[in-house]
Structure 1
Amino acid sequence: MALSGKRVAQVEIKSKGDVFHELWKSNPHQVPSLTPTTIQNCQLHEGEVGAVGSVHLWNYFHDGKDRVAKSIIKDINESKKSVTFEILEGDLLELYKTIVVHVHVDQHGINHLVTWTVEYEKLNPNVPDPDTLMEFYKKVTKDIETHHLRN
């Protein structure tokens, strides 16, 4: 059984992909107001908002429990509308040695497609693949989409 892997989840959205990309790149502190039942808080811990190397502290609800994470923005690619986060500390690292999350937006016909890719390494073979984490990211995307369509 492999300890390393990758999971991908895609969600089609009707709102502009630029708005979604800008949210994760430059305004992650606004995410909790858009999906409060899933993500309760995001605070800049160090660095500059919207810059590679910035570190954020997250409070979120996953798998029926309140959780925490500290992440760093590893890469921002404007042409591909992607942001890459690496989890530095928190509950996920009780199961995984590494977790890297990529969020990417591209045009798909008249709609846009949000793609979440999680690359991970388990601490041991008994750790489950992060499938519930992928469902979490789908829910976050749908909540943000619902908010943008209402406004």
Structure 2
Amino acid sequence: MALKGKLSTEIPIKAPASKWFHLFATKLYHVQNLAERLHHTKLHEGEDWHHKDTIKQWTYEIDGKVLTCKEKIEAVDEENKTITYILFGGDISPHYKVFKFIFHVIEKEDGSAYVNWTLEYEKIDHSVEHPYGYVEYLTKSSEDVDANLLKA
């Protein structure tokens, strides 16, 4: 059984892809106001929410448990509307050596769009479960964000 893994989910969205990318690329602090299971976020180190050296602390809920982690941006590709986040500390580091979220907003030719979340991870050992709860969390949170972006 492999320690490294990758999980991915695609969520159809109704709000414009440009609005989604703008939120995650320039107003990440606002996501906590749009997703039910995201309880709180704050700057841990740094002054700019979107600088690669800035570390944020997140408090969120997965499988009914309140968890925490730290996060920093690894890469931003504006042209392809993709952002890679590294998660660590809190409830992540005791279980995973590597834990990344890759956020990608995709517009189709027919005008529809979707958000693709990819989780790349490496477990500390074989006793650690695959992070399926995070896929469910990202799906539900994306649905919440989309509904709120449509209202704005």
| Structure-2-length-normalised TM-score | 0.93
2:38 — aligned with what? 39
2:74 — aligned with what? 74
8 Å Cα contact 2:49/2:56 also seen in 1: no
Amino acid at match of 1:105: V
2:133 — aligned with what? 132
Shift of 1:88: 2.4
Aligned length: 150
Structure 1 unaligned spans of 5+ = none
1:120 — aligned with what? 121
| Structure-1-length-normalised TM-score | 0.93
Root mean square deviation of aligned Cα: 1.2
In 1: Cα distance, 2:28 partner to 2:70 partner = 13
8 Å Cα contact 1:28/1:42 also seen in 2: no
1:3 — aligned with what? 3
Structure 2 unaligned spans of 5+ = none
Give the secondary structure class of the aligned counterpart of 2:92. Answer: helix
Give the secondary structure class of the aligned counterpart of 1:75. Answer: strand
8 Å Cα contact 1:15/1:111 also seen in 2: no
Once the two structures are aligned, what percentage of the paired residues are identical? 29
The Cα offsets for residues 20-74 of structure 1, whole Å up to 9 and x where unpaired, read as 1121222111111111x20011112223222222211111111211111101111
8 Å Cα contact 2:98/2:123 also seen in 1: yes
